[in-house]
Amino acid sequence: MELTINHQIRFFDPAPNSLADLLQIELSDKTQGVAVALNNRVIPKDDWSKTHLRSSDQILLITATQGG
């Protein structure tokens, strides 16, 4: 499956079934302070596990950082 994550094309085999599966691969379960947009639409955290991915989806992962 081909996905674009933060403007970089990535290939997955096997393909992640849901947005939650993808985030487990990409972020190793460190999802606190994370926002996700799928095809320019923000997906609430409660919906990650039921949001299915399709080839060519565009995903934007934003992680909060501390600092000043």
Per residue of the chain (68 residues), what is the pLDDT tens digit? 999 999 999 999 999 999 999 999 999 878 889 999 999 999 999 999 999 999 999 999 998 877 65
What pTM was estimated for this model as a whole? 0.87
Q: What is the dihedral of CA 59, 62, 63, 64, to 10 degrees?
A: -160
pLDDT of residue 68: 56
Sheet holding 58-63, edge to edge: 8-11, 2-5, 58-63, 34-38, 41-42
How many Å apart are CA 29 and CA 63, to the nearest integer?
13
